[in-house]
Amino acid sequence: MSDVTISIIGIVVGLGLVLYMIMKGVNIFVIALLCSSIVALSGGINLYTALKTHYMSGFVGFMQANYLIFLGGTLLGKIMETTNGAKAIAQLFIKLFGKDKAVISVPLACGILGYGGVSAFVISFCVFPIALQIFKEADLPRRFIPAALTFGCSTFAMIAPGAPQIHNAIPVNALNKILEGTGTSIGLMSGMVVGFISCGVMLLVGCLWLFHIVGSAKKGGEHFVAKSMDVFKTDDEKLPNGFLALIPLIVTILIINIKVDNQPIVQLESGLFLGSLLAWILMNKYQDNGKLLGNLGDTCKNSMVAIANTCAVVGFGTVVQQAKAFPVILNAVLNIPGPPLVGVAVAMNVIAGICGSASGGLAIATPLIAPAYLARGISAAIMHRTLAIASSALDSLPHNGYIVTVTNGICNETHKDAYGAVFKLTVITPLIGTVVAVVLFTLFPTLP
């Protein structure tokens, strides 16, 4: 048996263990180190070098490049949470759609918050109590709450053109680094027309599918069954006006996408902090100011935990890149027959699936595959949008940290009961959106 074959087996075993151990609830840091060791020992890498150099370079590199974005998104989310701004936006959508279509209001509210820059974890914590109330009042099966939350947070909104999310920022930063010295650059709005169409298809398909799935279950005799830990809100909660709560999100999106001489006047991290300050100014009276420093401390701690989980996955992926089999796997991916964008989409999905993370997958995939496909004539703008959209599909396999947190931690549901709907909305629906993007970019490569 050749060294490459042994290395391939090691990568497959390592990935299989990642999936199995995540499903069993093992800590992601333990998983990443153990599976990195398996990949290293089977892939011809000195174990000490694999962990000390390769694993830690991936871990620390992702932290350095993206921590301020995580912090800004978490800070904005925390202020939206403590001022009840997030709840106000969710309630606004509930009133607009009414009780009969209330299930769709959950992902729409999540999507608005996500497109405004609030991190997915924070949105889920904020909107879950409202989703719980909606599902109870409409007598909808509780097990579909994770699907409604994860669809709204981790698909159409987080990868849409202009969104102040890390999934937009990572490929932009990586591609601009490749483009240094060429006199060209890209921004968060690159691939705008096709990007919005693709995300619109995801939104439409997902909402219709969610409505059908929940409706079919209810017709089959399922009802809302509360769990012992459920707490339902009272009507005396003081909320800001929903339209007022939207202003900081709209301002954040606008200021980070305004360019002068092809350069943004406000960087993403700065935009998120300015949006957070504006949210605090507008809705300060709705929060307990005595807890301000404590809330800021919680924000720093939570953002560190969130990014460290992704760093662990990126570290594992970095070790995989050093294995003897990886060049063979990468060469196979880069030579997928058909239009070049098919290869980009497939490669991105595979790497995001391996990582169990869209952001982690983007951090690994973009510098690896972008140079080869740029050399084939694909524009950086098309590359950026295709990578971002494709990253939102296979990243949502059962071992994804966000999926695990929402399903088991926030919603207290099991994968057995909840993941079927989550898979349809966060894996299959984004795959449909990816196909739409690839087809449109291939047919109309000159669209802005």
Give the pLDDT of residue 78.
82
Predicted confidence band of residue 234 (pLDDT cuts 50, 70, 90): low
CA-closest candidate to residue 319, choices 23, 37, 66: 37
pLDDT at position 289 over 70 = no
**Is there a domain that residue 328 lies in?**
yes
**Is there a domain that residue 344 lies in?**
yes
**Is there a domain that residue 9 lies in?**
yes
Angle value at C-alpha 112, between 110 and 118, nearest 5 degrees: 75
Alpha carbons 378 and 130: distance in angstroms, whole number: 44
pLDDT at position 81 over 70 = yes
**Is there a domain that residue 107 lies in?**
yes
Residue 112 makes CB contacts below 8 A (sequence gap 6+) with: 89, 93, 157, 246, 249
**Is there a domain that residue 225 lies in?**
no
pLDDT at position 422 over 60 = yes
pLDDT at position 395 over 90 = no
**Is there a domain that residue 256 lies in?**
yes
Per-residue pLDDT tens for 144-203? 999 999 999 999 999 999 998 989 989 999 999 998 888 888 989 999 999 999 999 999
CA-closest candidate to residue 147, choices 393, 424, 397, 379: 424
152 within 8 A of 111, measured Cβ to Cβ: yes
Residue 348 makes CB contacts below 8 A (sequence gap 6+) with: 361, 362, 365, 369, 386, 387, 390, 391
**Is there a domain that residue 30 lies in?**
yes
pLDDT at position 330 over 90 = no
Give the pLDDT of residue 33.
94
Give the pLDDT of residue 337.
81
The phi, psi pair for 263, rounded to 5°, reads -125, 135
pLDDT at position 421 over 90 = yes
Alpha carbons 307 and 310: distance in angstroms, whole number: 5
Per-residue pLDDT tens for 245-262? 999 989 988 888 887 766
**Is there a domain that residue 81 lies in?**
yes
For residue 265, give the DSSP letter: S
CA-closest candidate to residue 396, choices 155, 199, 195: 155
Structure tokens at 250: 């709209």
Give the pLDDT of residue 38.
96
Give the pLDDT of residue 290.
59
Per-residue pLDDT tens for 367-390? 888 998 998 889 999 999 999 999
Predicted confidence band of residue 403 (pLDDT cuts 50, 70, 90): confident
Give the pLDDT of residue 282.
92
pLDDT at position 108 over 70 = yes
Predicted confidence band of residue 89 (pLDDT cuts 50, 70, 90): confident
Q: What is the mean pLDDT of the chain?
A: 87
Mean pLDDT of 403-409: 82
User: Which domain, by its residues, includes 429?
Assistant: 3-219+238-443
pLDDT at position 336 over 60 = yes
The total domain count for the chain is 1
Alpha carbons 60 and 318: distance in angstroms, whole number: 11
DSSP string, 223-255: -----TT-----TT-----HHHHHHHHHHHHHH
Alpha carbons 235 and 229: distance in angstroms, whole number: 20
pLDDT at position 77 over 90 = no
Give 325 or 98, the one with higher predicted confidence: 325
Predicted confidence band of residue 99 (pLDDT cuts 50, 70, 90): low
Token pair 């990586």 is found at 174
Mean pLDDT of 103-125: 87
Structure tokens at 63: 């932290």
Which range among 49-53, 110-114, 178-182 has the greatest average pLDDT?
49-53
